Amino acid sequence: MKKVIKQVVGIDVAQKELVVTIGKLYDDLSTDLIAYKVFKNTTKGFEALVSWVKKLTQDDVEARYVMEATGVYHEKLAYFLLDFKKAISIILPNKISNYIRTLEVKTITDKSCSQAIAQFGLERKLDNWNRPNPVLKSLKQLTRERDQIVDERSAIKNQIHAENTESEPNQSSIKRMNQRIKLLSKQEQEIKVEINQLIASDKELNRHVKQATTIPGIGLLTASIIYAETNGFELIRNKKQLTSFAGLDVIEKQSGTSIKGKTHISKKGNRHLRKAMHLPALSAIKHDMRYKDLFVRLVGKHGVKMKAVTAVQRKLLELTYILHKNNSTYNKLTREQCESVENEREQLLVIAPF
């Protein structure tokens, strides 16, 4: 009789339900998906899930719960399982989507996704997920709230412009919209103060943020967004994984000499990171010779400015991760130093604008 050496509970998390598949790996390295069920994404649903898994798995082999990092919908379940001392692994969504492409799956459903997650967990050695740093969690909430406020304020400014363009603008409407802009600006300032206080309260985070802000174009707010969205780079293992997480990874379709599709970025990643890197890239191009030269070379080669800007975004994000891992700061290079540095091939990656 075959011996079970690994048990995985693959969970596809949605807003209202959990689609679950249990898989087992045997000593002959064969796998089997033994059960499938749907539970509500509530505390009662979590309890029913744990009870169901206990009945169908062996007590002498640890059952690992594997799920995607799907926005905030997975968090309550992850905290619940952690309180019950369960082994949990949370995977970046792009990893699962890339894995599904390798399977013979013609139709993508919640069930097939949960099966793929279970199969992925059986085949890979996964790290344990731990409760996020509460400071980083609060930082993420604050940076996203500020982003919403800025978007709302921009929308109102556009409304004011449209109203003023009319032949007979409604002055009462304009007055109320201006009052809303003042309120939003006040709230944004309050959030910035809270962000500063939060970073200052954590010595390690404060040190890492200061290191990141030595990079041209990266200010305190941008550094805060990077650390908040990546949870301090907890799930990131290398630069390639980081750019994929942000959706800045390059997709190229080429086959022989007859098929050559446009190179572009996937955009299948964290949009908050991509958005946060745009203005810093423009600033870096303006104030740092290394990125200015990179920008000029790419524009000279392809003539598309936004492709070059996006390449700089990618480089800045990767550099933030490198400084974090090496616990170091950025040294700005002069033009003479730039000319003496060997040009890295990866700087010449051409990627389409997002």
How much of the chain exceeds pLDDT 90, in percent? 65
Element (H, E) at 269: none
What string of H, E and C letters represents the secondary structure of 43-101?
Answer: HHHHHHHHHHHHHHCCCCCCEEEEEECCCCCCHHHHHHHHHCCCEEEEECHHHHHHHHH
pLDDT of residue 349: 40
Correct CATH for 4-123 of 3.30.420.40, 3.40.50.620, 3.40.710.10, 3.30.1490.110: 3.30.420.40
pLDDT band at 108 (very low <50, low <70, confident <90, very high): confident
With CA atoms as reference, report the closest residue to 295 among 316, 274, 275. Answer: 316
Helical H runs in the chain? 43-56, 75-83, 93-101, 110-123, 134-165, 171-201, 203-212, 220-229, 239-246, 271-276, 278-287, 289-302, 305-326, 335-340
Over 70: is that where the pLDDT of 352 sits?
no
pTM of the model: 0.77
Kindly state the average pLDDT of the residues 277-285. Answer: 94
Kindly state the average pLDDT of the residues 254-258. Answer: 49
Over 60: is that where the pLDDT of 156 sits?
yes
- What are the residues facing 135 on neighbouring strands? none
Over 90: is that where the pLDDT of 153 sits?
yes
Strands 254-255, 259-260: pairing kind: antiparallel
Averaged confidence pLDDT in the chain: 87
3-class state of residue 30 by DSSP: coil
Write the CB contacts of 109 (distance below 8 Å, at least 6 apart in sequence). Answer: none
pLDDT of residue 262: 63
Chain segment 27-54, per-residue pLDDT in tens: 999 999 999 999 999 999 999 999 999 9
Q: At 16, list the tokens.
A: 């209202």
Stronger pLDDT, 254 or 60, i.e. the higher one: 60
pLDDT of residue 322: 93
With CA atoms as reference, report the closest residue to 112 among 103, 125, 121. Answer: 103
Chain segment 307-332, per-residue pLDDT in tens: 899 999 999 999 999 999 999 998 76
| d(C-alpha 58, C-alpha 261), whole Å | 50
Chain segment 223-253, per-residue pLDDT in tens: 999 999 998 998 788 888 898 888 887 665 5
Q: At 95, list the tokens.
A: 């990893």
pLDDT band at 210 (very low <50, low <70, confident <90, very high): very high
End-to-end CA distance of the chain: 54
